[in-house]
Amino acid sequence: MSVWDTESFILSLLAILSVIALYSHRRNNGFQSGQIPTVSTWFPLLGLDNGWRLYNNPTLFMEQMRQRYGPLYRFRVLGTSAIVIHHPYSLSQLERQTKELSPHLPFEGAAQAGSGKANVHRIVEILMNELVPITGREFSRQRMKDSGLKSRFHEELEKEFDQFSNPSGTTVLLSEFLRQTLYRATGIVIFGPEFPAESYDDIKATVPDISFLASRLSHLPWSKTGRARDRLLNFVIEYIRPWWEADGHSTKELSGVMVEGLVTMKEAGLSLPDAAAVLLPLLWGIHSNIWFHLYWMLAQIILDEDLLIRAQNEARSGKDITEMRLIESVMWEALRWPYSMQQLRRASEDLDVSFKGTRYFIPKDTWIISKLINHDSSIYEDPFEFKADRFLVNPSLPKPKTFGDGAHLCKGKQFALHQMPDFVVTVLRRFDVELVQRSGKDRKVPQSESNSFLPDISKFEEFTIKITPRASN
């Protein structure tokens, strides 16, 4: 090789290395290094004051901290570090950068609660990788249209309302009215016509205590909730047993989504009890979230006489449900106003992530709370007020992200968006609804009383209503 060739080779190599070095420098230094602001506390190690504020009124606490510290901040509670992410940052932005966010965390807790076992790795694996995608397909807009799921749900809902045919009216708790009718109608449509509706009392008893059911304490002989879970699990086992033991040749009629799920679990080698334990978290999730938001949708309508009259007139107008703008607005407001902490993750490793060009370090075992836009005062005026006309007056407002954000967006979103208006419109078409009594004071319900760390309505104020069949509907 000549001297010229050698020099050319060296110069070319140096040029390539320079480009690589420049690219690496820009990649590593194109982001500023930022410190996540820390919420001040009188108790640096325990954070008791912030813990109390979060527990007492999470929406107000997090919105005040957003205004003070910005869309990203940290605080400590009982020695545990937590980070809150607000708009314009999101959980989906984090999930695109790292796979170390323990996405299985909510599923793991629900699987432990449903099975009564500590080691639920296989159950969670099947639940996340097989059952959730199946339900996602079943509840997609196109699939619901093709399968007739919406019309079948409406038919079952009408049948449930037939039991309230007393011409003098029926007095019932609002919570019981919506939970029981929805549980039966939804259960039959999703699981099959022989779905055990008698399991209602046990589903109602277990929803508020899913966190407790994931602990060993639920196995204590005097635990009523633990016994309710065991009965509920047994209901599911006995419901799927004929199909399971006959390898799908049973005469028991099951829904298409149930059969697809059972085939998948059978092929995966799950036992019958473990298959039931996979279905139980789905049963909880399908019902608890819709109960939570529909409760406040109906409560706000019956608490406001003017709104009740307007909603009745629209429901009885003969319009298609999709054209009822007032009821649609009330639905979105009922999805925005109450709060349930569902978007929760934990860093399973140290994370180096970036938001808007700034890098942040998140230590391992930090809890990450994604507080979406629902109570952001920069987006919604008077975010803690329930305004039935909010989305009617301003249709261009961003819709609340109640169904989550990121890779684990609720797969039942589209079905829930049909269930809520269908339920309310059908009630108002068929019945005259009257508020008879309330357990709280005669006042406007503050937003702070609509918060729940789990979607549980048993802790809320009770409303007794009287529903009377209309002479013509």
Cα distance between residue 176 and residue 457, in whole Å = 10
Does 410 show up as a binding residue in the annotation? Answer: yes
Token reading at 355:
């938001």
Q: Can you point out the beta strands (E) in 318-419?
A: 339-340, 344-346, 351-355, 358-362, 367-370
- What is the 8-class DSSP label of residue 247? T
CA-based angle 467:469:472, to the nearest 5? Answer: 145
Q: Fill in the amino acid letter for 15.
A: A
User: What pairs with residue 210 in β-bridges?
Assistant: none
Cα distance between residue 127 and residue 472, in whole Å = 46
Q: Can you point out the beta strands (E) in 300-384?
A: 339-340, 344-346, 351-355, 358-362, 367-370
Token reading at 163:
């039991």
Q: What number of CA atoms fall less than 13 Å from residue 154's CA on the CB side?
A: 12
Q: Fill in the amino acid letter for 235.
A: F
In total, the chain counts a number of residues equal to 473
Cα distance between residue 133 and residue 463, in whole Å = 37
Cα distance between residue 341 and residue 105, in whole Å = 13
Nearest in space to 321 (alpha carbons), one of 394, 393, 425, 417: 425
| Calculated CA dihedral for residues 314, 317, 318, 322, nearest 10 degrees | -20
Q: Fill in the amino acid letter for 350.
A: D
Neighbouring CB atoms inside 10 A of 62's CB total: 22
Buried b (16+ CB within 10 A) or exposed e, 451-469: bbebbbbeebbebbbbbbb
Annotated binding site for heme: 410
Annotated binding site: 410
